A and B are shown apart, each in its own frame.
Chain A
């Protein structure tokens, strides 16, 4: 699988996603600098976590207007898989590739911990290696992960199966106690209507081996490989 990782000046999970991609797919990704406007021909584009341009304005707002993201948008509309984690998810919403916005956490504090998620749609190219409704553990690490969209958008997301991951509690319920940041409908990750752009706040690349505390993130990358092989 050929992949690319977009590197903004203050991306800080670019190495983490690159390590995960190489470990799981066997191929090193292309690291693409934010100032470039060319992207190599790839099957998969990752927008990593971090603080893109410092995020002193709304998180991801400036990155969404960078030259490279214009090219990412063209690839996305051509059907290439685009995956945004954390800051990458914020960039995707700011760029309009995904609906809604990520606001300041309801608790107003940065939060870094493992959370439980339910796989709400195991039929996507990013989640086919998970079981439908599987409960998985992944870490979050963000200040602005509180997902917001208007009622109509939320209804469309729910109706079309575009909510891919939802925060749940110990009992697997999408309750308030299971919601770390105040996101509407406990939304942790969504996919676009075409099914090729996924954004999520939790970090699958941080839990891909037992030594790091778990490997529930691995199946996401396996899914992308599966989808590519069967395509």
Chain B
């Protein structure tokens, strides 16, 4: 219970009655409490109440989101395991599987940014290696409040240091992600961490417990009083006093995590493990309940056997502790000593804390007495499922580029975007992450998708995290589609085949019909994109109640996509590489400026009405264009490719020039490539955020070939200019509308974040 900022731990001898106040403090409704009483056939004791409260919390039970999540496509021939396990699994051939998931750690990161973010990384790593994979890459998606909000700098600094502090020590490269700023996150930042691991397809581990009488083993760190009620905290809104919840934040120890990874993988190379599960949110409770539930068995746990960091812990505390770096497993009988030897070698605790029973109950003993006895099924299957009422979002009007003012100066507008909070270089962030450890990172942070080589092979694994929350606010359905499509496009732009996604659905309070409407529509849009692109959801996480004092964040369905390429030797990257390359734009440009970053940051528009409808995502065109670009890269024709997203054509061109080495390779473009009959003004051509588009730069000879192929395949492709010089030049109707030196753009692009953080 959290009272007056102090975590009050109920007395173990509390045989006293459960009061309505205690029920409310555990985040349970009266109806939910009645269900508990019905399931037990009596009133719960305080330990049982605590266990039900975490198992039935939004965070653990998905009670508000389940009915919508069920509509997402989760299958494809290459999917080995979809949602429901610790992480999703896909087949990448050669008896190799990729295991991945993204998870939020929003609430703790706001309260204690370093530890919140660090333990977010630790938790998602465990979700992946618990299934038998060696983690090979970390990614993240971060959203902070307005740059001028007094807490933002402190939060950015703490979160980035926390992600680095944990990932760098465990030796898994953090290879990419995204970071953005918006005032809606002032009171609720988002820290979404993703881990991607590699396993042998025939050596994957699941969590279903089996074998009556088999031992239940606890390994890893000792249990302390940290993180009690973390899951409950993550299932409620914030108010002014949320910082008093600091005691609910866990403390990470990446050194122990590193030992745990190595020890578990060493044991997994044998045949000793029947089932294994990390202890994440709600710790020992949720891991044992999930393992027992999946296996259809019961668990007898003896809390006196649990390794403890502190003396005098109550059953309530031990069951609800979220101490980090702990795992629970079921071993084959007789293999205990063998397993113990491995954990001792790595200096980790190893304790047999119970056994599997046929009772179907979770029975907890403490000091020789029963401290809790609950039917497993009631903890999992009886958890309430809500079909919360929702209302459709207001669809914003479609804005015509011709009705939107042009900038006073096109060059100044570009500089404002690439040198501003949201499109400036993130180097300051990713240079704090070891993105090269494991020596397989072949496309480092800053590109469209990060690429790591599959160790010992030529295969490459591409990853991207994306979401455009301002699109989701304007139209959650199109925004959901766009988030999925953008990861697919980013993965395609490096030459990989996108295979599957994980998601992290960050929204406000689901009890409000308009928020539930955002959620339902975004999920429906995501599902539509996944189906059209053959790109299923294999794992994910939902984070609701991201509100402070009644103000919600922008709807943020962050997507993490994964794809594979046959050879990293044929991979495309963003930078221009040669002078005199022909630049080709693939995909259709209509000059869609609605909900664009141009409207927001150059024209200063703020309200949804002023920003208008986001660019529609034509999924058939998306797929056609991507399926055209990818083979060009696979065949070795294209080594320079960039997708168009925030800021449209001109920002993409600037990024390709700024990324080039040797002083910067510029480009000269003529904006006359859009048919005059469409009457698209220049600012629509340059800043429009039409979807499904790519820029490629190739030699003249290859360009002619590609344009012929595009015509034959009915793919819109047009030559718009060439690389050259040391400036970005845009010509329009015979005049020079933009001329900016690459070095001036680079210094604006690179300086915003370091200057902001040092200010």
**A residues whose Cβ falls under 8 Å from a Cβ of B:** 9-10, 12-13, 15-16, 19-20, 35, 49-51, 53-56, 109-113, 139, 141, 143, 203, 205-206, 211-213
Contact = CB atoms under 8 A, between A and B. Distances in A.
Most A CB contacts (10 A, CB to CB) among B255, B434, B441 go to B434
Given A110-B164, A212-B442, A13 B437 contact: yes
A112 B435 contact: yes
Interface in B206-231: none
A174 B242 CA distance: 49
A120 B436 CA distance: 26
Interface in B405-446: 430-442, 444
14 contacts: A9-B259, A10-B259, A12-B437, A15-B438, A16-B437, A16-B438, A20-B439, A35-B345, A50-B171, A51-B258, A54-B254, A55-B255, A110-B161, A110-B432
A9 B431 contact: no
B435 A12 contact: no
B434 A141 contact: yes
Nearest to B460: A211
A213 B168 contact: no
B413 to A, nearest CB: 30
B51 to A, nearest CB: 33
Contact of A206 (B168, B254, B439, B569): B439
B687 to A, nearest CB: 31
Given A10-B259, A212-B442, A109 B437 contact: no
Contacts of A15: 438-439
Contact of B568 (A16, A109, A211): A211
A53 B255 contact: yes
A112 B439 contact: no
Interface centre among B430, B437, B568 (most CB of A within 10 A): B437
Given A19-B439, A211-B568, A213-B444, A110 B434 contact: yes
Contact of B431 (A12, A111, A211): A111
Contacts of B161: 109-110
B258 A16 contact: no
Interface of B: 161, 164-165, 168-171, 253-256, 258-259, 262, 345-347, 430-442, 444, 453, 568-569
A54 B255 contact: yes
Given A51-B258, A141-B436, 16 more contacts: A9-B262, A10-B169, A10-B170, A10-B171, A10-B258, A12-B258, A13-B171, A15-B439, A49-B437, A110-B168, A110-B434, A111-B432, A113-B431, A141-B434, A211-B569, A213-B442
Nearest to A50: B171
Contacts of A110: 161, 164-165, 168, 432-434
Contacts of A203: 436
A164 to B, nearest CB: 22
A103 to B, nearest CB: 18
B420 to A, nearest CB: 23
Nearest to B258: A10
Nearest to A108: B161
Nearest to B568: A211
Nearest to B432: A110
Given A12-B437, A110-B434, A211 B168 contact: no
A70 B444 CA distance: 38
